[in-house]
Amino acid sequence: MDHAAVLAAYDRQLRHDALSEGGGSRVERTGGVVRVTGSAHDWNGVLWTDVDASTADAVIAEQVRHYTAAGREFEWKLHSYDRPGDLSGRLLAAGFEAEPTESVMVAEAASLPAGPGLPDGVRLVPVTDAAGVRLMAQAHVAAFGEDDAALGEHLARRVLAQLTEAPDRIVAVVAMAGDRPVCGARMEFCPGTDFAGLWGGGTDPRWRGKGIYRALVAHRARIAVARGYRCLQVDASDDSRPILDRLGFATLCTTTPYVYRP
């Protein structure tokens, strides 16, 4: 993989030229910023910026005014190659809070391993409706605990909206051990780009280390290839990064969400 070429494609296709996810969400390009504004259940935030030391503070203040007027919490998705170099400090000074840094990892979908298979007693169930989304939310709580239940419900609402409004842009599955959901994962397609994004995959601690996460990556890779997408992209946590490394994913950069809560 040509690291520089893939990073340039990622920056252009998924950030600078981002498309709306549909529904009430819209992509806006204004004042050197590409941002997404939607409902309270949508992702709201800044995807890409063209700022320097002389303009950064004013641009930050304008985004705060814009989202505060809309009554929206929002995220400034800061990448390690973004400029100016002190942009993170400027965001903190403006009242943003930094969340855990993730690694942006990419692999060619066709080159990923075909396996492993699922462990005995586990099957994949496609998520296509509200009942399936509820299973995904239960899997999220099983993986991350009751303290993360609110986030799980927020993600569930977003997934259900995507399945309803743009079903051709998302594939979601839940791994079931008997009647217990133990892992939920989805893939979001970006039409007109080389990339499909992998999201979720957190697994119930009682079922970790059995290959479920890797099986779900392989399952989604096959679908991406069939639909003509060249690359899979993941914002990987510290837990999933070593697994993805072993599967053949390469790290392009890091990304840190800076969140502003009006």
Q: What is the pTM of this model?
A: 0.92
59: left (phi over 0), alpha (psi -120 to 50) or beta: alpha
Average pLDDT over residues 8-34: 91
Q: Does position 18 have pLDDT exceeding 90, yes or no?
A: yes
Q: Does position 22 have pLDDT exceeding 80, yes or no?
A: no
Report pLDDT for 196. Answer: 98
Do residue 144 and residue 49 come from a single domain? no
Do residue 77 and residue 161 come from a single domain? no
Do residue 217 and residue 241 come from a single domain? yes
DSSP per-residue codes, 236-258 = E-TTTHHHHHHHT-EEEEEEEEE
In 3-state terms, what secondary structure has residue 210? coil
Tally the domains of the chain. 2
Average pLDDT over residues 70-84: 97
Q: What angle do CA 18, 22, 25 make, to 5 degrees?
A: 75
Q: Does position 149 have pLDDT exceeding 80, yes or no?
A: no
Report pLDDT for 151. Answer: 72
- What type of residue is 138? Q
Q: Which of 68, 103, 138 is the last residue of a domain?
A: 103
Tell me how far apart the alpha carbons of residues 139 and 202 are, in angstroms, rounded to a whole number.
8
Q: For residue range 244-253, what is the model confidence (pLDDT) as tens digits?
A: 999 999 999 9
- Asked whether residue 90 is assigned to any structural domain, the reply reads yes
Do residue 92 and residue 139 come from a single domain? no
Do residue 97 and residue 198 come from a single domain? no
Query: Which domain covers residue 91, as residue numbers?
Result: 3-103
